Amino acid sequence: GAVVSQHPSRVICKSGTSVKIECRSLDFQATTMFWYRQFPKQSLMLMATSNEGSKATYEQGVEKDKFLINHASLTLSTLTVTSAHPEDSSFYICSAIAPGASGNTIYFGEGSWLTVV
Amino acid sequence: DAKTTQPPSMDCAEGRAANLPCNHSTISGNEYVYWYRQIHSQGPQYIIHGLKNNETNEMASLIITEDRKSSTLILPHATLRDTAVYYCIVRVGSNTGKLIFGQGTTLQVKP
């Protein structure tokens, strides 16, 4: 299937700093990507929809100024966690829509573990 | 909120078929049923999806009831590597990639 790649897979940052996570579609173009967050032993929670060339759409309760999303090209979306705090430590996952014969399929990246110390 | 309900956990013997049920009684006519699984500390892996016909691929089979209010994912010969959390998801809108995850079913395949 289509491949979505995230980088870095793990990152540790100090409280108060910002950290950027990249999401790339490797063999297809994605005008729309999605960012999720997952805390331990919980399900994935949709944070925002990343739209190429326009502003991201955030889910209710997600701070857009804290979680900056940029989708500057058809193969790359970035999530920047600004002024990170320990409670932002989580597993961040992106997904993208890949076209297919039987309807579009959504593929996920490998995820990025963020630890804020 | 997720539009699906699944049992929180199931066990299956290695080599046997694993049948994972999912209820989606409020599904709309143009909404697809998707199945993903997540192995610990990894991103979700796509398994299969369907609209109203039964589907089969190299990983699994998807059986959707005629009224589309429920479905069953079948792993025909479960292995230890199939131990994971399985998510049944109704896709919001026919062309969006927005997936709302429920709690899923934790499948434990035992030797």
Does A107 lie at the interface with B, CB-CB under 8 angstroms? yes
pLDDT of A89 > 70? The answer is yes
Question: Smallest Cβ distance to B97: which of A34, A44, A109?
Answer: A34
User: What pLDDT is attached to residue A14?
Assistant: 97
User: What pLDDT is attached to residue A77?
Assistant: 96
Burial class (CB in 10 A: 0-12, 13-18, 19+), A5: middle
Give pLDDT tens digits for A75-85: 999 999 999 99
Residue A101: band (very low, low, confident or very high) from pLDDT cuts 50, 70, 90: low
Residue B17: band (very low, low, confident or very high) from pLDDT cuts 50, 70, 90: very high
The number of angstroms, rounded, from the C-alpha of B109 to the middle of its chain's C-alpha atoms is 16
User: What pLDDT is attached to residue B29?
Assistant: 84
Does A47 lie at the interface with B, CB-CB under 8 angstroms? no
CB-based contact A1 B46, cutoff 8 Å: yes
Does A96 lie at the interface with B, CB-CB under 8 angstroms? yes
Pairwise pLDDT comparison (A112 vs A52), residue with the higher score: A112
Give pLDDT tens digits for B22-64: 999 999 888 889 999 999 889 999 999 999 989 999 999 999 9
Letter string b/e over residues B33-47, b meaning 16 or more CB atoms within 10 A of that residue's CB: bbbbbbeeeebbebb
